């Protein structure tokens, strides 16, 4: 897939996750035109680097361009002052991933938090297009977010994105439903992620005694099963608390939903109603929308940042 003189029309992204390393190639219209996935070596850094470099080389070969703009979307953080990475499910913690990748490739590649890349994508030609402030909220196995203001990623002191999943769920919300304070994978108790992620929805269903605990099926059952409907009411109420915290801290104009839970029917309407019940006085509420670019949005955002020469 050579560019044939149309330099700069293609760009690529590598999505680094705990399950797969996904390479995506995008055309001039930022449409995904090719992809390749390989399993992520989770315990061996050397094997991880071999797989990562091979994915970058694959993108360059498919584009016919050794200087193809490519960025890495990483489920973790890069400390701006040191370049040291921290991640839960990929073997890069404590490593200067950027420097090691530069040594292996002979060129620098920008790296961006996956939720920030998602927010960037949806703020530039996505569901948040035209809004001054866009929060991309990813609700899957965990919960994370990114923020774009006036078309740019705000400066971040420690390289942290919007780690809203690790704020504490208010005691008032847990008391409303008689829920216990569950321990989070981060080592703290009562984080939003414990209740609002896909894992959290499954946990609430188990706590309520539902035989079916798959999040998508629980949501589908809610129209006919009173117990499933109650589980979804509890989950939406707790998600509303998280959105309320986001509004108080960031006051986004638009919140764009991504991740596996974003496919639940009527989710934007359900969450808008939950936030309406909690809002502070007469404060205007953010619009809540599904991602326009679906599952490829985070990779699209990273590739677009590479094309635009954006770093963060």
* The pLDDT of residue 160: 81
* The pLDDT of residue 310: 66
* The pLDDT of residue 4: 43
Q: What is the total count of domains within the chain? A: 2
Count CB-CB contacts under 10 A for residue 110.
Answer: 18
Q: How far is CA 118 from CA 102, 153, 218, 255, 306, in A?
A: 24, 12, 26, 12, 14
Say if residue 151 is in the same domain as residue 214.
Answer: yes
Q: Which strand (E) or helix (H) includes residue 39?
A: strand 32-39
Say if residue 215 is in the same domain as residue 276.
Answer: yes
Tell me what the mean pLDDT of segment 159-184 comes to.
93
Residue 251 lies in a domain: yes
Say if residue 45 is in the same domain as residue 135.
Answer: no
pLDDT in tens, 232-268: 999 999 999 999 999 999 999 999 999 999 999 899 9
Residue 123 lies in a domain: no
Question: Mean pLDDT: which of 55-59, 181-185, 306-310 is highest?
Answer: 55-59
* The pLDDT of residue 254: 98
The span from the CA of 235 to the CA of 232, in Å, is 5
* The pLDDT of residue 198: 94
Residue 80 lies in a domain: yes
Residue 226 lies in a domain: yes
* The pLDDT of residue 311: 66
Which residue(s) pair with 71 in the sheet?
13
pLDDT in tens, 1-51: 444 434 458 999 999 988 889 999 999 999 999 999 999 998 899 999 999
Among 81-90, 169-178, 239-248, whose mean pLDDT is lowest?
81-90
Say if residue 68 is in the same domain as residue 213.
Answer: no
CATH code of the domain in which 54 resides = 3.30.420.40
Q: How do 133-139 and 143-149 pair as beta strands?
A: antiparallel
Say if residue 160 is in the same domain as residue 19.
Answer: no
Residue numbers of the domain that contains 243: 128-291
* The pLDDT of residue 308: 87
Computed over every residue of the chain, the mean pLDDT equals 92
CB 149 within 8 A of CB 119: no
Say if residue 140 is in the same domain as residue 279.
Answer: yes
Give the residue, 3 or 76, on which the prediction is more confident: 76
Residue 30 lies in a domain: yes
Say if residue 146 is in the same domain as residue 270.
Answer: yes
Say if residue 108 is in the same domain as residue 135.
Answer: no
Banded model confidence at residue 136, pLDDT cuts 50, 70, 90: very high
Say if residue 106 is in the same domain as residue 249.
Answer: no
Locate all alpha helices (DSSP H) within the chain, ordered by sequence: 45-63, 97-105, 114-123, 171-177, 193-196, 198-207, 215-221, 226-250, 267-278, 297-308
CA-based Rg of the chain, rounded to a whole angstrom?
20
Residue 138 lies in a domain: yes
* The pLDDT of residue 8: 57
Say if residue 140 is in the same domain as residue 275.
Answer: yes
Residue 95 lies in a domain: yes
* The pLDDT of residue 90: 87
Residue 1 lies in a domain: no
Among 121-135, 147-161, 230-244, 289-303, whose mean pLDDT is lowest?
147-161
Say if residue 22 is in the same domain as residue 145.
Answer: no
* The pLDDT of residue 6: 44
Give the residue, 50 or 78, on which the prediction is more confident: 50
Say if residue 139 is in the same domain as residue 266.
Answer: yes
Banded model confidence at residue 86, pLDDT cuts 50, 70, 90: confident
């Amino acid at each position: 897939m050579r560019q044939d003189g149309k330099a700069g029309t293609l760009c690529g992204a590598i999505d680094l996750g705990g399950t797969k390393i996904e390479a995506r190639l995008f055309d001039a219209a930022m449409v995904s035109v090719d992809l390749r996935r390989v399993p992520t070596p989770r315990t061996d850094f050397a094997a991880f680097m071999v797989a990562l470099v091979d994915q970058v080389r694959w993108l360059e070969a498919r584009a016919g361009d050794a200087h193809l703009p490519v960025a890495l979307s990483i489920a973790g953080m890069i400390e701006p002052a040191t370049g040291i990475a921290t991640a839960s499910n990929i073997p890069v913690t404590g490593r200067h991933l950027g420097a090691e990748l530069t040594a292996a490739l002979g060129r620098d590649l920008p790296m961006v938090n996956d939720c920030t890349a998602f927010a960037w994508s949806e703020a530039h030609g996505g569901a948040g297009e035209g809004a001054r402030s866009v929060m991309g909220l990813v609700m899957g196995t965990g919960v994370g977010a990114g923020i774009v203001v006036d078309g740019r990623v705000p400066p971040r002191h420690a390289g942290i994105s919007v780690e809203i999943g690790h704020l504490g769920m208010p005691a008032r919300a847990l008391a409303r439903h008689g829920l216990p304070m569950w321990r989070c994978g981060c080592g703290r108790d009562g984080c939003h992620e414990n209740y609002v992620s896909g894992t959290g929805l499954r946990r609430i269903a188990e706590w309520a005694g539902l035989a079916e605990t798959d999040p998508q099926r629980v949501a589908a059952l809610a129209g006919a099963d009173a117990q499933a409907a109650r589980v979804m009411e509890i989950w939406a109420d707790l998600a509303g608390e998280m959105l309320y915290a986001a509004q108080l801290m960031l006051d986004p104009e638009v919140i764009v939903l991504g991740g596996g839970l974003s496919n639940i029917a009527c989710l934007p309407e359900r969450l808008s109603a939950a936030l309406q019940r909690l809002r502070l006085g007469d404060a205007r509420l953010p619009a809540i929308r599904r991602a326009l670019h679906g599952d490829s949005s985070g990779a699209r955002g990273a590739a677009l940042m590479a094309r635009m020469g954006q770093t963060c």
